[in-house]
């Protein structure tokens, strides 16, 4: 019986690890328009489409998690993490939509962009944090971290963390590498600056292997819920 229980427990743990946690990467939650550059259009997801994704997430009975929970993988509940890059002003509305549904998201912010045109203000970020959203760092100025001197690299990582923490009175533990650019030196500097995880733009589903190489499912303006389901399943089956 004990052996049998061990087998069952072992099978459960393996099964939970194998499925992993999908981490979705959003940029702007806005309807793209004709005057947008191709890049901006590609980084947009309309509010309608975003709501459809949230409907699907609810229907699939996922719980939305923060980076701290992600590190506790394998998780006993079916989990998904929603992330939003660049601190764009549309993220305030996205956070409100999540909050109305009892969901959470992780918002990666460049500290130098706060309060500038098209970006979140200080009071919006404070309110989002109070809604239960996680605020993460996307560095100070969004540089390619691999190209910086060691001193400058530490400033980008440590200063953004400090500035955001001072704003929300909460620890800022997670980082998203700007443009997904990182190497071993960047990872070492992130660890030294006190982060506990970092999100990449590498494709995949997080299976608990390396918290400084968290992979993503990238959301495009054309990503339907059917695409989302397919990408999540594909990640699961890798």
**Chain residues that interact with Zn ion, rule: CB under 5 A:** 85-86
Q: To 10 degrees, what angle do helices 184-192 and 150-168 make? A: 40
Residue of this chain nearest to Zn ion (CB atom) = 85
**Distances 82 to 23, 62, 108, 128 between C-alpha atoms, Å:** 6, 11, 11, 14
d(CA 53, CA 43): 16
Q: How far is the CB of 63 from Zn ion (least distance, A)?
A: 26
66 versus 113: smaller Cβ distance to Zn ion: 113
**Distances 171 to 60, 67, 74, 102, 160 between C-alpha atoms, Å:** 31, 12, 23, 22, 12
Question: Could you please report the per-residue DSSP string of 153-181?
Answer: HHHHHHHHHHHHHHHHTS---EEE-GGG-
Q: How far is the CB of 179 from Zn ion (least distance, A)?
A: 6
Q: How far is the CB of 140 from Zn ion (least distance, A)?
A: 12
The tokens for 56 are 């699907």
28 versus 86: smaller Cβ distance to Zn ion: 86
4 versus 39: smaller Cβ distance to Zn ion: 39
Share of the chain residues as helix, strand and coil, in percent rounded to the nearest 5: 45, 20, 35
The secondary structure element, H or E, covering residue 26 is: strand 23-26
Contact yes or no for 116/109 (Cβ under 8 A): no
85 versus 134: smaller Cβ distance to Zn ion: 85
Residue 24 pairs in a beta bridge with 82, 217
85 versus 156: smaller Cβ distance to Zn ion: 85
85 versus 95: smaller Cβ distance to Zn ion: 85
Q: How far is the CB of 11 from Zn ion (least distance, A)?
A: 40
Residue 84 pairs in a beta bridge with 26, 107
Q: How far is the CB of 117 from Zn ion (least distance, A)?
A: 17
Q: How far is the CB of 203 from Zn ion (least distance, A)?
A: 16
């Amino acid at each position: 019986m004990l052996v049998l229980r061990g087998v069952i427990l072992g099978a459960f743990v393996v099964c939970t690890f194998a499925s992993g946690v999908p981490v979705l990467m959003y940029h702007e939650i806005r309807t793209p328009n004709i005057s947008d550059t191709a890049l901006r259009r590609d980084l947009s997801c309309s509010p309608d489409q975003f709501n459809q994704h949230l409907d699907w997430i609810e229907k699939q009975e996922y719980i939305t998690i923060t980076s701290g929970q992600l590190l506790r993988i394998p998780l006993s509940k079916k989990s998904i993490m929603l992330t939003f890059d660049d601190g764009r002003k549309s993220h305030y509305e996205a956070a409100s939509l999540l909050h109305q549904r009892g969901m959470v998201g992780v918002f990666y912010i460049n500290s130098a962009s706060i309060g500038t045109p098209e970006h979140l203000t200080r009071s919006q970020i404070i309110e989002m944090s109070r809604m239960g959203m996680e605020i993460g760092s996307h560095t100070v100025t969004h540089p390619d971290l691999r190209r910086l001197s060691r001193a400058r690299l530490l400033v980008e990582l440590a200063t953004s963390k400090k500035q955001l923490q001072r704003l929300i009175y909460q620890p800022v533990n997670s980082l998203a590498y700007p443009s997904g650019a990182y190497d071993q030196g960047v990872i070492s500097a992130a660890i030294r600056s006190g982060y506990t995880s970092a999100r990449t733009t590498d494709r995949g589903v997080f299976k608990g292997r390396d918290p400084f190489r968290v992979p993503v499912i990238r959301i495009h303006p054309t990503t339907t819920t059917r695409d989302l389901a397919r990408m999540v399943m594909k990640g699961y089956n890798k």
